[in-house]
């Protein structure tokens, strides 16, 4: 969730400063918009994969713990 909030904050910050550059997301072409969002999507996918890998490691560790009796 923090990563998602970070991405939204980055987008928000970029939009705030966009008015000072030639193209903003509002008047950018579709190609420019795609180029802007692809790295952010890729970062989110990487984070999601890391979370899944960590969860799988935790399950593996917990499955090797003897049951309490």
On the question of pLDDT at 30 being above 80, the answer is yes
- CA 43 – CA 51 distance, rounded (Å): 12
Helices (DSSP H) in 1-69: which residue ranges? 2-18, 30-63
Domain boundaries, the chain: 2-63
Q: Which residue has the higher pLDDT, 7 or 40?
A: 40
pLDDT at 56: 92
pLDDT at 52: 92
What mean pLDDT do residues 15-43 have? Answer: 72
pLDDT category at 19 given cuts 50, 70, 90 is low
pTM (global) more than 0.75 = no
Cα–Cα distances in angstroms (integers) from residue 61 to residues 32, 50, 51, 67, 68, in the given order: 45, 17, 15, 13, 15
Residue 56, number of CB atoms within 10 A of its CB:
10
Question: Do 31 and 67 contact (CB within 8 A), yes or no?
Answer: no
């Amino acid at each position: 969730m923090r990563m998602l909030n970070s991405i939204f904050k980055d987008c928000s910050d970029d939009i705030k400063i966009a008015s000072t550059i030639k193209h903003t997301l509002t008047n950018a072409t579709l190609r420019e918009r795609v180029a802007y969002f692809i790295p952010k999507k890729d970062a989110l996918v990487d984070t999601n994969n890391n979370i899944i890998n960590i969860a799988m490691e935790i399950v593996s560790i917990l499955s090797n713990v003897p049951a309490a009796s």
